Amino acid sequence: MSDYVGIDIGAKSVVMCVRSDGRTAKAQAFSQTPEGHQALIKKLGQQVAGVVLEATGVYYLDLAVALSRAGLPVSVINPRSFHHFASIKLNNSKTDGVDAALLAEYAECMKPTQWQAPDDTLMGLRDLGRQINRLTHARTQAKNRLHALKSKSSTLSMLIEDEEDGIKQLDQRIERLAQAATELANKKPECKQHLENLTCAKGIGKASAIAMLAELMVLPRDLKSAQVSRYAGLDVRLCQSGSSVNKPGRLSKAGNAYLRSAFYMPALSAVRHDPNVKAFYEVLQKRGKKKIQALCAVMRKYLTGVWACLKLGEPFDSAKLFSAEHLKNA
């Protein structure tokens, strides 16, 4: 069993390459449909050591689920990881067939962690959480536009009314989806308890808790907090080399943008209303950190606390997450 498979994902088709004993076979294309997925699975059989595909938009998900449920060892990798691998191989061409062949070689060399398909309830919860995230972002944009319109005395009243109507509609849509997500989470006692535990935190409301839960519940529970931070792109990327290169650390932002977004507003609220978080935030600024750097540190701390709540099944408690020494030094 030495076959490694790379699959390049497209909106209408997928391209597969099989690598065996160091040689890559000719690429084959399949339609991006349930029938095409089943044809690909039938072509592969069961004698496969690993299948690798990128987490490309929403197009990879159905195929990854089909492969996993067929009993194949599928791995879903971060596109940036594959981009760096292609650079190492000095690959200058970019076609579906070339990418599929490189993904097969990636599977052979890197042997990434196997991906497990979440159940339908968790997948539905994630879809609802992401839609709430998108609508919340759209509402923020609409509120900014409304503020800009109201700042001009010459703005037509009809434009202001139109923007206000749009914001009301977004409010209604967000509330409706949040209610649907709550009902879906209530079907799983574990999810229901997690929602209650997360909303114990200052700054984490129902919509934010749903957005966090939607992204985190599909992850393997044995991940460590540092791994979850990397998954969210909240890990710090250092750039230090020799005596001439010493740049400030920056967030990698190489992970799940939905998860990062879910923690932004709760962190912003927590630094105002939670004494422990506020003290931590102020101490970081006294050490020379900028406001946005301190806020990102709060986001990372909150993510660590939320992940601990999911693993332990306990309510969120900022006193366990932030040192009491910060209160003395704030």
The predicted-structure confidence for 216-266, as pLDDT tens digits, reads as follows 988 877 788 888 888 888 887 766 556 555 566 677 777 788 899 999 999
Same-domain pairing of 69 and 157: no
Decide which of 49, 78, 110 is a domain's last residue.
110
**What's the residue count for the chain?**
330
Q: pTM (2 decimals)?
A: 0.75
What pLDDT is stored for residue 239 in this prediction? Answer: 62
Same-domain pairing of 154 and 229: no
CB 214 within 8 A of CB 123: no
Same-domain pairing of 100 and 58: yes
- Token look-up 């993904």 returns 103
The predicted-structure confidence for 202-225, as pLDDT tens digits, reads as follows 999 988 899 999 899 888 777 888
Q: Which helix (H) or strand (E) holds 275?
A: helix 275-286
In CATH, what number is assigned to the domain containing residue 91?
3.30.420.40
Answer yes or no: is 211 within a domain. Answer: no
Q: For residues 77 and 80, what is the distance between their CA atoms, to the nearest angstrom?
A: 8
Same-domain pairing of 256 and 315: yes
- Weakest-pLDDT range from 141-150, 161-170, 198-207, 316-325: 316-325
The predicted-structure confidence for 64-106, as pLDDT tens digits, reads as follows 999 998 999 999 998 888 888 988 888 888 888 999 999 999 9
Q: For residues 265 and 307, what is the distance between their CA atoms, to the nearest angstrom?
A: 18
Same-domain pairing of 55 and 86: yes
Range(s) of the domain holding residue 289: 225-238+251-329
Split into its structural domains, the chain has a count of 3
Same-domain pairing of 149 and 59: no
Same-domain pairing of 106 and 24: yes
Which pLDDT band holds residue 328 (cuts at 50, 70, 90)?
Answer: low
Decide which of 48, 79, 110 is a domain's last residue.
110
Answer yes or no: is 214 within a domain. Answer: no
Region of 288 on the Ramachandran plot (φ > 0 left; ψ -120 to 50 alpha; else beta)? left
Same-domain pairing of 18 and 95: yes
pLDDT mean over 48-76: 90
Answer yes or no: is 128 within a domain. Answer: yes
